[in-house]
Amino acid sequence: MWYDLTDAISGQTVNVQATTSKIDSSFDGRVKAMTLVVAYDDGDSDKVYYWVNQGHDTVNPLDDTYTGSTVFGTSSLANGWSSANLTAIYLASVDGTYTFNEKALVSGVKSGPYFGFNSWDISSFLTPGQDSSLAYNKQGSNYYKIPLVLMSVRCPSASPTLPDAAFTADVTNGTAPLIVNFTDQSTGSPTSWLWDFDNDGTADSTEQNPSHTYEKAGNYTVSLTVSNAGGSDSEVKKDYIVVSTQEIPDTTKPVIESVVLFPANTTAGATINFSVNATDNVEVTEVTAGEVQLTKTDGIWKGSITAPSALGDYSLSINATDAAGNAANTSVPYRVVQLSGGANIAVSPRASSVTAGNNVSLTIKVKNTQNIDDTFIVKISVSELPASYQADLSGFDWTEKSVTLKAGEEVLIPVKVTVPEGTAAGRKLFRANVKSETSSITGFDTGYLVIA
């Protein structure tokens, strides 16, 4: 039980009377100890700080493991105390064991049959800015109880306030070289400052509000340690400053390596396909042909437009752009005409001699005599010929090909023919056909195999 007797004490003699009659069925009528705690102003310049901690821990002799503890809020204390004392009052016939801030204390001798107290000088056991702890336990298999622990700390004058470190920076990320202005926001009236801008353990500045230039990219941990007469405190901010490499602006334009437009000579309303090979030092992000946006496939930008309805010469603008906005431009011409002309096809040599079991090489020449670019299907067949004169197509290394020719362009297509063993001597015929994919133009020529 606790009583505030501040207003009840009027002199230097205090008399206390305790009634031991039972007021509760659990009360056995025994009063084991009374403690009067007095804190007063003696008029001098020093200052005394008091802590009164209530215990009431009971340890039964049968308890195998037990350690009681009580904590004193001494974290507000700074350096400069002149003395510090601790008193523990226990109720037991055998004293307990004690440690203060993990340092063992010597136990005293009991003052009565079931009462005792210990007093220790703990001046050297306190740490500025940290709470303190008393741990206690029974000795051996003895009953033990501690109802009260008192601590007092005397300072020559009011204890100086322990500083509390804090700081900010005007920027915490950017590209090198990065200038950072630090601002001290510590409390407790620090009188000195130690800054470590890169966590290398070396003080980089003793100014209160310094500036520092970070020359290299990286993540930097910053610490500030502040001190005054009461002690010191530190704040550490991990990876507080993030410095990146300065980006060099990309000013290099893409390069349009090639543009393939087909057909570049065509008829009104026809589809014109185009392929653009554009490169860049980083990456080409967009290619357009006129108002058409191209699609990238296997590294080549592709698309198509419809030829205008009016005849004439035209130009298609090709633009390539990269992520930085750099652009390259070129143009390619094309023409819309009225269709004229045709297609020629010829087998050379027309007649080829070959022995059964051997092979012979020949060529098929295809010429686009139209005034437009076109794609032709070239096909070797025998169905149009009499059956007895039909060549065995299984011996031809190909029987159908597709060729793309500009207006007036021709191409020679090689053909290898193998005549099977046992083929009867005689003349065998085949036909080379050509057909336009754009118009109704067709043509053919006949070749001969003279088998010996």
Measured distance CA(400)–CA(434) in Å, rounded: 10
Class of domain 1-159: mainly beta
Sign, Cα dihedral of 402, 404, 409, 414: negative
What is the distance between the alpha carbons of residues 398 and 381, in angstroms, rounded to a whole number?
Answer: 11
Architecture per CATH, domain 255-336, reads as: Sandwich (2.60)
Residue 231 token pair: 């002690």
Rounded to an integer, what is the distance from CA 353 to the centroid of its chain?
A: 74
**Whether pLDDT at 41 is above 80:** no
Chain-centre distance for alpha carbon 142: 61
Residue spans of alpha helices (H) in 47-150: none
**CATH for 343-451, options being 3.40.30.10, 2.60.40.10, 3.40.630.30, 2.30.30.170:** 2.60.40.10
Write out pLDDT tens, residues 168-178: 999 999 999 99
Q: What is the pLDDT of residue 34?
A: 77
Output the CATH code of domain 167-244.
2.60.40.10
pLDDT at 63 over 90: no
The pLDDT of residue 159 is above 60:
no
Residue type (1 letter), 3: Y
pLDDT surpasses 70 at 111: no
Q: Is the pLDDT of residue 230 over 80?
A: no
First to last CA, the chain: 134
Nearest to 266 by CA among 324, 361, 179, 336: 336
Residue 242 CB contacts under 8 Å (≥ 6 apart), including other chains: 172, 173, 219, 220
Nearest to 258 by CA among 242, 236, 274, 270: 274
| β-strand partners of 212 | 180
Q: What is the pLDDT of residue 406?
A: 96
**CA–CA dist 112, 142 (Å, integer):** 16
Contact 265, 339 (CB under 8 A): no
Burial 8-27 (b: 16+ CB within 10 A, else e): eeeeeeeeeeeeeeeeeeee
Whole-number Å distance between alpha carbons of 180 and 169? 6
Beta bridge partners of 378: 401, 434
Please check whether the two domains, 167-244 and 343-451, share a CATH topology: yes
Mind listing the pLDDT tens digit for each residue in 325-354? 999 999 999 999 999 999 999 999 999 999
C-alpha 65/C-alpha 189 separation (Å) is 46
Q: What is the pLDDT of residue 56?
A: 60
More confident site: 44 or 204: 204
pTM of model > 0.95 = no
Q: In what order do the strands lie in the sheet with 110-112?
A: 47-59, 144-155, 83-90, 115-121, 110-112
Residue 116, token pair as written in the block: 């005792």
Structural domain spans, the chain? 1-159, 167-244, 255-336, 343-451
For 405-441, the pLDDT digits (tens) are: 999 999 999 999 999 999 999 999 999 999 999 889 9
Confidence of residue 112 (pLDDT cuts 50, 70, 90): low
Residue 160 confidence (pLDDT) above 70: no
Alpha-carbon gap, residue 384 to 374, rounded angstroms: 26
State how far the Cα of 52 lies from the Cα of 21, in Å rounded to an integer: 28
Q: Is the pLDDT of residue 18 over 70?
A: yes
Cis peptide before 163 (omega within 30 of 0): no
pLDDT band at 110 (very low <50, low <70, confident <90, very high): low
Confidence of residue 184 (pLDDT cuts 50, 70, 90): very high
